[in-house]
Structure 1
Amino acid sequence: MQKTVLLALAFSLTVFPPLPHAADDISKIELPDMGDSSGTLITPEEEQQLGSAFFRSLNSQITINQDPEVQQYIQSVGQKLVTVSDLPGYPFHFFVVLENDINAFAGPGGYVGVNSGLILTTEAESELASVMAHEIAHVTQRHLYRAAEAAGRLSIPTAAAMLAAILLGTQSPQLGQAALVAIQAGSIQFQIDFTRENEEEADRVGMHILSESQFDPRSMPTFFERLQQSTRYYGQNIPEFLRTHPVTASRISDSRGRADQYPYKQYPDSLGYQLIRAKLRVLAGADPSETRKYFEARLNQGTSEQRTVSTYGLGLTALAQQKFAEAEHIFQKLVANFPDQTQYCAALARTALEQNQFARALALYENLSSRFPENEAIKFEYITSLLKTGQAEKARQALFSLSANAHKLPVYYQLLAETYGKLHQSAESHRYFAEYYYAMGQTRDAITQIRLAQKSKGLNFYLSSILSERLNFFLEEDKKAREAH
């Protein structure tokens, strides 16, 4: 019974609508009606605060990708879609969850997560874009408003923790139970059941976004259809996600009918999509030997580009297994053949870095940074090489040159903390370690770091004031979090 309730409450704006009983008519599906019921919504600033807190809560419970290349790719695809949406200036943040389950969801403040399992299930870049466009549409069409309104009656930390716990309810019954208690204690009716109209609108708007951003509208029904067909092979052991979020025949039919209204054309995948899928297969793979077999089996299959991607994947697998000579050989050959492909060049530099060949790695990264100055994934790795070679001041300058979007990544604060540590500025180092722990949803550790910073010698008035303000803020956040439990 508890699990059923959790699934009904799940704050997961997934790709598929809930499954009706076999005897029910599909028109009776009760998905969330999230229109503005009273006109009294939380402010945009509060929504952004809730979104940030929600993301921190997720970071504390699930493995969110920190790899700069993966993050740069998913953010670039998301922004390409957002640019042609109804809210091109809305501050969306896209991220990848390193989980093999097939899932995608949107949270408050435009935080959109996509599981690595879903990305690896797609067979075309437009299929991935179709899922992301659908989630963007849920946000731009205000389908989240009623949830935001309900959350607005709670403190930001309480609401964020509750939303994250509900999202993870099917994976962690304990967290899900905590979410139920929070809802009951606050006398909050918190339910996100998209109406069929919401889902149809998200499909329709998402398909328009796909077309305007030069992705294939037909990818949406194609992906739905493949997932529906995959359920046939599970028998009675259908995964929980596919049982509760099936792809119905009517949804496939509706989306295909809309897709057929667009002119047919070819939409080739970007090389970036193929390379990121190879990297995620290594990052999310449980058994490197199985991952190796996967790439080895494809070295002589497909197009020349696909074979090259398999070679790259094999190199990443060798690097993950610390088979440095093999990785070095593979990446040297790739760079020789494709000198302008940043992923191959960065992989070669990363191989040198992981072999503790710091001077060589730095030289490679400096060259890449000069050739591709706008590539922030390269900047992150360049900063690491600077720290390894004792050039902390250069690392600090490079960190402050990163975009505001990079500041949403916990690794940004971790690198800042390490940088100031090497600059022998312990107060600043502890200060940024505090921000790192806070970004990871570990507020008590953040409090410890601030207190350590306050004990540092030579504090000036400005920094002392910042530390006092952050300590009070973290203490209040921790108090509210304790009250929520």
Structure 2
Amino acid sequence: MPSFPQHPRRLLAALALAGAGWLPLSASAQLQLPTLGDGASITTSDERRMGDRIIRSLYRDPDYLEDGPLQEYVEGIWKPLLAAARARGELSPELDERFAWQILLGRDRSINAFALPGGYFGVHLGLIGVVGTRDELASVLAHELSHVSQRHIARMIAQQSRQSPLVIGSMILGALAAAKSPGAGQALMIGGQALTAQNQLNFSRDMEREADRMGYGLMAPAGFAPQGAIGMFDRLQQANRLNDNGSWPYLRSHPLTSERIADMQSRLPAGQRAAQPAPSLEHAMMAARARVLSRPGVDVLRQWTRLPESSGFDETPQGQRVAGLYAAVLAHMQLQDWGPARAGLPALTQALAGDAAGLRQAALLAAELELAAGQPQAALDALAPAMQADDKADKPTRPVLLLRTQILLRLGQAQAMAQPLQTWVTLYPRDAAAWQTLAQLWQAQNQPLRALRAEGEAQAAHYDYSAAVDRFRAGQELARRSGSQSDHFEASIIDTRLRATEELLREQAAQR
């Protein structure tokens, strides 16, 4: 399958239809493009189906990352931006209902983010690790959101007048496969067509300016400092001078121009522009987490473990010190050095100096450490501060819910987590990790029929309808064998979900 790293990662810029110019365009395969339209010839349903087709492949990619703390942090930035776009009337009811509005994380050290057809968005860990504040990250997400809300992707697709959306989706996937395995004949053939489409589907300068303007307008209503957008432009401008190593694909897919830079820089008075928001300690910790989880290599991990012992470390600014301590503990965990990892936690807690959000992340890290080290009771004790924070807010958070369930499963005490998890998947039916955790819980409680249904829902949430049908059919067969002893209500749900998923599978096969 295609991978986020290396050349396929760069092609994700093309996936986003914000493609870069790094790939050669075959002169014999030029496509003639009509004048820019409004995207009306591409329906929202077509665009969503194409996005589903692409995202299904990325879910199976080995670099797709399911990480509770990072996903929650990025979602905490993303959701206010989406709410602001709704409040400002920038999302039509049709777009809001039909599109996914979903973010995926990739273990990619390159600095990049991308939008896909149908309202899917990708964020590389390299971007999270390099931005200075949550406001800077918000400015990137707001820009990508505006590309989709203004239907820039549909406009670009509409220009390919002789290609259907599903064909373009196939071409994009073919390009990914060809870049992954150049010797694959069919994939290479399809990919050759996709390389043509990539260069023809670059966002225009007008679209980039519109995304700049619309994205900037979302910042303050969403609760972010508009200076973050200016700071990100300054950061990109500096990186543009050092882009020879190809580590900033965002600059290739969203090329800076002096006009765009001047426009953004002029939106704030000079005095306010200088007042950049300070990074939060939580952001420093999440940026450090992103850098460690991007698989930098054993040598780099060992360097991070030695960072707190380096000369002058105790005199560094608080944010840098917290990030260094967090990275050291997590790097020790990645190296399975449990003792040194535990030894670093008190210094991290002390450096946080009572910061509530930071202490919650430290508690999650400590619980994650103990669970990985095979000490579930110690993990439960370490998780207590984060659980108390959830209780005070009277609202479960996803990282605490899933981590607590995994801990209690190890302790054989997970019965009480069934209801909270069921409530969660009712609210968030496309949360595959929650469904899979629920399946583990039901299996541990000797409820195999419910476990099979949850496994099926987990596969369906990632658009793997073939695997979902397999699980639902297994549940149907188990219900038949159990006869009168079967849970008839659950069996009825499985029958209904099987029929619906078989229909989706037929549609999926027809699209191929």
How far does the alpha carbon of each residue in 1:343-395 deviate from its partner, in whole angstroms, 9 at most, with x for none? 11122222222222222322333553133233332222111112111123212
Answering whether residue 277 of structure 2 is matched by residue 274 of structure 1, we say: no
The CA distance in 1 between the partners of 2:12 and 2:294, in whole Å, is 28
Tell me the residue number matched to 2:241: 229
Aligned residue for 2:15?
A: 11
Cα offset, 1:47, TM superposition: 6.1
SS of match in other structure, 1:96: strand
What is the rounded CA distance, in whole Å, between the counterparts of 1:161 and 1:470 in structure 2? 27
Relative to 1, partners in 2 of residues 1:125 and 1:363: Cα closer, same or farther, differing over 3 Å? closer
Task: Structure 1: give runs of 5+ residues left out of the alignment.
Answer: 22-29
Alignment correspondent of 1:204: 213
Aligned twin of 1:27: none
**Aligned runs of 1:468-479 on 2, under 5 Å?**
468-479=495-506
- Residues 106, 135 of structure 1: 8 Å contact kept: yes
1:26 — aligned with what? none
Q: Deviations over 1:76-108 (max 9, x none)?
A: 111232333334794632332211233211124
Alignment of 1:192-341 (within 5 A): 192-212=201-221, 213-215=223-225, 216=227, 217-232=229-244, 234=245, 246-259=255-268, 263-264=272-273, 265-294=275-304, 296-297=306-307, 300=313, 302-335=316-349, 338=352, 340=356, 341=359
Equivalent residue in structure 2 for 1:143, among 145, 152, 156: 152
- CA gap of 1:42–1:33, structure 2 versus 1, over 3 A, is same
How far has the Cα of 1:261 moved from its partner? 7.3
Structure 1 residues 220 and 277: CA distance shift in structure 2, 3 A: closer
| Structure 2 residue 45 is the aligned partner of structure 1 residue 35 | no
- Residue 162 in 1 paired to residue 165 in 2? no
> What's the CA shift string for 1:185-208, capped at 9, x where partnerless?
xxx999644222111100111122
**CA distance change for structure 1 residues 279 and 257 in 2, over 3 Å: closer, same or farther?**
same
Q: 1:387 maps to what in 2?
A: 409
1:443 to 427, 452, 465: 465
Contact 2:77 2:138 in 1 (8 A): yes
Q: CA RMSD in A?
A: 4.2
Quote the Cα distance in structure 2 between the aligned partners of 1:319 and 1:333.
16
User: Distance in 2 between the 1:358 and 1:323 partners?
Assistant: 17
What residue number does 2:180 align with? Answer: 172
- The answer on whether the counterparts of 1:106 and 1:112 sit within 8 Å (CA) in structure 2 is yes
AA at the equivalent of 1:357: Q
Q: Indicate how the Cα distance of structure 1 residues 173 and 244 shifts in structure 2: closer, same or farther if over 3 A, else same.
A: farther
- Contact 1:34-1:144 within 8 A present in 2 as well: no
Instruction: Flag the 1:33–1:310 CA change in 2: closer, same or farther, 3 A.
Output: farther
2:381 equivalent to 1:363 = yes
Task: State the alpha-carbon separation in 2 of the partners of residues 382 and 306 from structure 1.
Answer: 30
CA distance in 2, matches of 1:155, 1:129: 33
Distance change in 2, residues 1:155/1:451 (3 Å): farther
Report the counterpart of residue 422 of structure 2 in structure 1: 400
Give 1:403 deviation, angstroms: 7.0
Does 1 or 2 have the higher relative contact order (CA < 8 Å, sep 6+)? Answer: 1
Greater CA deviation, 378-387 or 438-447? 438-447
Partner of 1:59: 59
Secondary structure of the corresponding residue to residue 84 of structure 1: helix
Aligned equivalent of 2:436, options 395, 410, 414: 414
Aligned partner of 2:492 in structure 1 is 465
Q: Report deviation, 1:72.
A: 0.4
- Structure 2 distance, partners of 1:351, 1:162, is 42
Match of 1:24 in 2: none
Amino acid across the alignment from 2:491:
S
Q: CA deviation at 1:266?
A: 3.1
Partner-residue secondary structure (3-state), 2:121: strand
* Aligned sequence identity (%): 24
C-alpha displacement at 1:326, in angstroms? 1.2
Q: Which sections of structure 2, spanning at least 5 residues, go unmatched?
A: 1-6, 25-32
The within-5 A match list for 1:56-205 is 56-61=56-61, 63-85=63-85, 86=88, 87=90, 90=96, 92-146=101-155, 162=170, 165=173, 168=176, 171-172=179-180, 192-205=201-214
Instruction: Describe the shift of the 1:189–1:471 C-alpha distance in structure 2 as closer, same or farther (beyond 3 A).
Output: farther
Change (3 A) 1:34 1:391: farther
The 1:34/1:155 distance shift into structure 2, 3 A limit, reads: closer
TM-score (norm 1): 0.80
For 2:276 and 2:367, the matched residues in 1 are separated by: 35
Q: TM-score, normalised by structure 2?
A: 0.76
Aligned partner letter, 1:329? A
Summarize deviations over 1:10-54 as a string: whole Å, max 9, x none.
33154x875899xxxxxxxx999462345x7335xx766665555
- SS of equivalent to 2:331: helix
Q: C-alpha separation between the residues in 2 aligned to 1:19 and 1:239?
A: 12
| CA distance in structure 2 between the aligned counterparts of 1:360 and 1:59, rounded to whole angstroms | 33
The 1:134/1:244 distance shift into structure 2, 3 A limit, reads closer
Matched with 2:27 is none
Report how far residue 179 of structure 1 moved. Answer: 10
Q: Contact conserved, 2:366 with 2:383, CA < 8 A, in 1?
A: no
Instruction: Give the deviation of 1:171 after TM superposition.
Output: 4.3
What residue is the counterpart of 2:455 in the other structure? Answer: 433
> 3-state DSSP class of the match of 2:65?
coil
SS at match of 1:408: coil
Distance, in Å, in 1 between the alignment partners of 2:363 and 2:175 is 38
Contact 1:19–1:246 (Cα < 8 Å) also in 2: no
